[in-house]
Amino acid sequence: MRLKLRHSVTELLIYRERWGAIAYGSTLGVACVAVAVGSYFLSNQAGVPKPFFIAFSLLFGLAGAALLLRLSAESKEFAAKGGAHVLSADSWGISITANLGARKQRVLWTSIKEVVLAKRFKTIDIGESSYLGRAVIVFLTDDEYDSLSVLDRINVGASRSGGDRPFLYVPYPERQEELLIGVLREFAPDSVRVRSEQVAVFDFKKHADSYSNAKPFH
């Protein structure tokens, strides 16, 4: 799904193109349902753990159905707004929709510690590394993170970094770093640092975060 950006003196908006968002959501929903159907048929094979496959099938089936049903309602909103919301910022704070179908989370600037734009965002965990591409990483205060229930954190995509810093993140459009940094700095208060990095790594094995090749914007 192609990401786009628009801004004015009062708001910054990153969004996904309408038809791309609808196509992606439909594909993801259908894929979940297909996995559910496949798991159900596998549960009828001899020698397989039937309860596990049935539970797996039910989980993906419900997720796929929920996504397709929600997409049906959200497609009208996409049409009205010209696309699917990813991130918006203004003088009050930042709103993030971590994934298609996720709940939009509004965070006031007073609940934000730092905003980092990373051209390459990587996480390292036991047995695997994930390359997440370009990312706007919004570090939250501990109080803001602690105010969210476990279910809320899942719904909005809130987590903790390798260095145990609470954060939210979303992708941003290619070659828009300088514009994003400039606009975010205009909206952010002096107490919130806004910076850019070539690479951001959250290493959960070492319980540390690292950054490299900072590129300043003027």
Which of 143, 142, 173, 140 minimizes the C-alpha distance to 157? 140
Residue 216 has pLDDT above 50, yes or no: no
Closest Cα partner for 156 from 115, 103, 84? 103
Tell me the CA end-to-end span of the chain in Å, nearest whole number.
30
The confidence band for 218, taking pLDDT boundaries of 50, 70 and 90, is: very low
pLDDT in tens, 11-32: 999 988 655 555 565 666 667 7
Which amino acid is it at 14? I
pLDDT in tens, 45-58: 666 566 765 776 77
* Backbone phi and psi for residue 154, each to the nearest 5 degrees, phi listed first: -65, -45
Q: How does residue 117 score in pLDDT terms, banded at 50, 70 and 90?
A: very high
| Predicted TM-score (pTM) of this structure | 0.74
Q: 86: closest CA among 158, 21, 147?
A: 21
Domains of the chain, by residue range, sit at 18-83, 86-212
pLDDT at residue 204, as a whole number: 93
CA distance 137 to 169: 4
CATH for 86-212 is 2.30.29
Spell out the long-range contacts of 75-82 with Cβ–Cβ below 8 A and sequence spacing 24 or more: 75/22, 78/18, 78/21, 78/22, 79/18, 81/15, 82/15, 82/18
